[in-house]
Amino acid sequence: MPNFTIQDFLKKKKEGKKITLITAYDYPFARIVDEAGIDAVLVGDSLGMVVQGLENTLPVTMDEMLYHTKMVARAVRSAMVIGDMPFMSYQTSISDAVKNAGRFLKEAGAAAVKLEGGAEIAEHIRALIKSDIPVMAHIGLTPQSIHRMGGYKVQGKTDEAAKKLIEEAHIIEDAGAFSLLLEAIPLGLAEKITGELSIPTIGIGAGPHCDGQILVLHDVIGLFERFVPKFVKQYANMKEEALKAIILYREEIEKGIFPSDEHSFK
Ligand code: KIV
């Protein structure tokens, strides 16, 4: 099956079909995600928290993002791979944005990049599009702005904040982004933005009316315990499964059950 493309994003919106996304950060999980028929995989800078054990996403570097994106790109057969631009890889200048975004496509095998921000990154988006780098934008709760926002809080709750997000959504569409990720905003606001834009919206904590949905893989499969946001639905508890297996393995070694003849050479 050919890889999902930015044209497929638009086609699905037009046809009223939901777009499915999830994050992945390494080869084995990217294989599973791809096999599950997910449309696009985001190699999110959330890897700082769910893989590296960091407090937030700010310390994640370009080299780390490229390292993980390469593993994911190597694994997928049909999903589209989107690389998440880490903090300070694009905010510093438009030329940094182009250079660093280009590395995701040239060195790591991504087909697009994601950037957090609204009007302040419109010129960055334009420059990336001019360089043939497709862009997904990300507004609402933007984790790289955690210090400005004062924590991971729902955004767009007042009329004024909602109006600003609607304006930013239009600015991003005009700048040429192929889709817009909406994080942690009221469902009615996400519905309004989705209805007004011709590019697809992808929601995370933005209700059911977005054109597509994304969650962090480790939240979906129960591998991240530090906190579970309200918008997360856990579909499995892999921490429990892995713990059970590893305890059993330890116990069998201690009791001399493993390795048995079956797992030994004669
Ligand atoms: O880094 C990430 O995983 C994200 C989420 C919003 C999906 O940006």
Average pLDDT for 21-36: 98
Q: What percent of the chain has pLDDT over 90?
A: 97
Work out the mean pLDDT of the chain and round it to a whole number.
97
* Separation CA 141–CA 72 (nearest Å): 25
Among protein residues, the one whose CA lies closest to atom 3 of ligand 1:
44
For residue 214, give the ligand 1 atom closest to its CA.
7
What residues does each domain of the chain span? 6-235, 237-266
pLDDT in tens, 150-185: 999 999 999 999 999 999 999 999 999 999 999 999
Ligand 1 in reach of 202 Cβ (< 6 A): no
Average pLDDT for 135-156: 97
> What is the structure's pLDDT at 128?
98
Ligand 1 in reach of 204 Cβ (< 6 A): yes
pLDDT in tens, 95-115: 999 999 999 999 999 999 999
Instruction: Tell me, yes or no, if 183 is annotated catalytic.
Output: yes
For residue 44, give the ligand 1 atom closest to its CA.
1
Ligand 1 in reach of 214 Cβ (< 6 A): yes
CB of 217 closer than 8 Å to CB of 29: yes
> What is the structure's pLDDT at 9?
98
Residue 45 DSSP class: T
- Indicate the top mutation candidate among 46, 219, 231 to test ligand 1's pocket, ranked by most ligand atoms within 8 A of CB: 46
Which member of 167, 183, 196, 240 is catalytic?
183
* End-to-end alpha carbon distance in the chain: 45
Ligand 1 in reach of 40 Cβ (< 6 A): no
- CA torsion sign for 182, 205, 37, 65 is positive
> What is the structure's pLDDT at 218?
98
45 alpha carbon to ligand 1 midpoint, in Å? 6
Domain 6-235 CATH assignment equals 3.20.20.60:
yes
pLDDT in tens, 213-254: 999 999 999 999 888 899 999 999 999 999 999 999 999 999
Ligand 1 in reach of 144 Cβ (< 6 A): no
Give this prediction's pTM: 0.97
Residue 112 DSSP class: E
| Res 1 pLDDT > 70 | no
| Res 256 pLDDT > 80 | yes
> What is the structure's pLDDT at 227?
86
pLDDT in tens, 52-95: 999 999 999 999 999 999 999 999 999 999 999 999 999 999 99
Ligand 1 in reach of 51 Cβ (< 6 A): no
For residue 21, give the ligand 1 atom closest to its CA.
7
For residue 183, give the ligand 1 atom closest to its CA.
6
Q: Which H or E run contains 141?
A: none
What would you report as the CA-atom Rg of the chain, rounded to the nearest whole angstrom? Answer: 20
Ligand 1 in reach of 22 Cβ (< 6 A): no
Query: For residue 250, what are the β-bridge partners?
Result: none
